Amino acid sequence: MENPQWHTSGRTLLRLTIAWAIGLLLYFTFYLKLEETLWILVSIIGLALVVSGASLGIASMIIIKRSRYLALLVISIISLGLTAFFTVGFSTGEHVRFVLLKSYYEREMRRIVAETHKVESIHRSDCQIDLGPPIRVAFYWYRGVTDNWIGLVYDPTGAVMNANNFKPDWPNWQDTDLLPIKKLFGGDMMGAKKMANSWYLCWFT
């Protein structure tokens, strides 16, 4: 008969697993910011999360005879987290980050639109602005060590999605039909992903 009481070691294991899951979600959410700051060290953090998660899974197998339900709960959390790491975790993290900061970006977008009505051009360090019309803004999400960067783009037309028409081996990289989108914000736009409404995550090189 299984003991309904959780042993101290089991409760500690559950707390560690929950802390691990929270750490993994934060890693997914702020991965691009971490990579911008820490460069290659961010991969070491990811490896540490995978190893520590696997270790917690192994530890749960040790207590499974004493507390089956607890062990299965830990295994389920670890399995879900590790599966997300190799599948949808980072994409989900991008959406979580966007939801957390959406009100800030919307407020800044309204401010930029108001300012452009007063002056011919404005300059900010946190974004690039294309006066159009229509006005489009690319807020920096990731700035690489070279000229590669990722921006959260406000585009009321959705035209940035045309960047996805570039073929994998780039035979149409010079197509004139795609040139207006390719050259937005002074860089070569390589692709875009819709986040919500008029907001898109775009890749530049």
The three state secondary structure string of the chain is CCCCCCCHHHHHHHHHHHHHHHHHHHHHHCHHHHHHHHCCHHHHHHHHHHHHHHHHHHHHHHCCCCCHHHHHHHHHHHHHHHHHHCCCHHHHHHHHHHHHHHHHHHHHHHHHHHHHCCCCCCCCCCEEEECCCCCEEEEEEEECCCCCEEEEEECCCCHHHHHHHCCCCCCCCCCCCCHHHHCHHHCCEEEEEEEECCEEEEEEC
Q: In the prediction, which pLDDT does 1 show? A: 45
Using 50 as the pLDDT threshold, list the residues of the chain that sit under it.
1-2, 4-6
Give this prediction's pTM.
Answer: 0.83
* Cis status of the peptide bond prior to 180, with omega within 30 of 0: no
pLDDT (tens digit per residue) in 131-152? 878 899 999 999 877 778 999 9
Q: In the prediction, which pLDDT does 196 show? A: 92
Residue type at 98 in one-letter notation: F
CA–CA dist 65, 56 (Å, integer): 16
Q: In the prediction, which pLDDT does 120 show? A: 59
